[in-house]
Amino acid sequence: MQKRLLLNSKHLSITISRLCHQLIENHLVFENTVLIGLQPKGVFLAERIKSKLEEIIKKPIQLGYLDITFYRDDFRRRDEPLTPNETKVPFIIEDKNVILIDDVLYTGRSVKSAMDAMSAFGRPAKVEFLTLIDRIHTRHLPVEANYVGKQVNTVFSQKVLVELTEQGKKEDKIWLIDKSK
């Protein structure tokens, strides 16, 4: 197994800062825009983005958590059912601009499931997708992110491991792991 560091703590902080400025370019003061982090790890990233945005624009921003377990298309294709996480969308998304946030974009199936799950809360005006790591050439569905932290060329035998301090890790580290070596 071979590990390559994609982002360290400092790079992650710069990347989040850049993503926030890109979001502000398009959404200005976030009057009609909400953030939704995908459970489990997209939530940590979404929380960081929310606090950075609030620090810059000096206004509160609405954030929800979305669990996609019941909307996945691989139910019964796994050995056992997945354990769901909490969904908490304490606002109306009808006619809002929604920014879905996840840590890694891989096959695109999670994003598709997230859009299905999100539609249970109303019909948004527009949906955008933000990801920290975009694994290119691994897509099963025609899904692209609007905001990308870092693009990485990977193959299916590789895995992106996101370690954040919120998970009890000493420092933030994003790894590319090659399981075949």
Question: Does residue 74 interact with another protein by CB under 8 A?
Answer: no
- Measured CA to CA, the distance from residue 47 to residue 36 in angstroms comes to 9
Q: Which of 28, 29, 82, 136 binds another protein (CB under 8 A)?
A: 82
Beta strands in the chain (DSSP E): 2-8, 33-38, 63-66, 97-105, 126-136, 147-153, 158-163, 173-178
Q: Which of 76, 137, 170, 181 binds another protein (CB under 8 A)?
A: 76
Q: Which of 22, 24, 62, 70 binds another protein (CB under 8 A)?
A: 70
Sign of CA dihedral 27, 30, 31, 32: positive
Question: Does residue 81 interact with another protein by CB under 8 A?
Answer: yes
The region of 5-13, 100-108, 115-123, 172-180 touching another protein under the rule CB under 8 A is 115-123
- Total binding residues for another protein by CB under 8 A? 20
Numbers of helices and strands, H then E, in the chain = 3, 8
Q: Which residue has the tokens 């060329």?
A: 153
Question: Does residue 90 interact with another protein by CB under 8 A?
Answer: no
- Measured CA to CA, the distance from residue 40 to residue 20 in angstroms comes to 21
Question: Does residue 84 interact with another protein by CB under 8 A?
Answer: yes
- Tell me the closest approach of the beta carbon of residue 81 to another protein, in angstroms: 3
Token pair for 67:
């669990």
Q: What residues make contact with another protein under the rule CB under 8 A?
A: 67, 69-71, 75-76, 78-84, 86-87, 116, 119-122
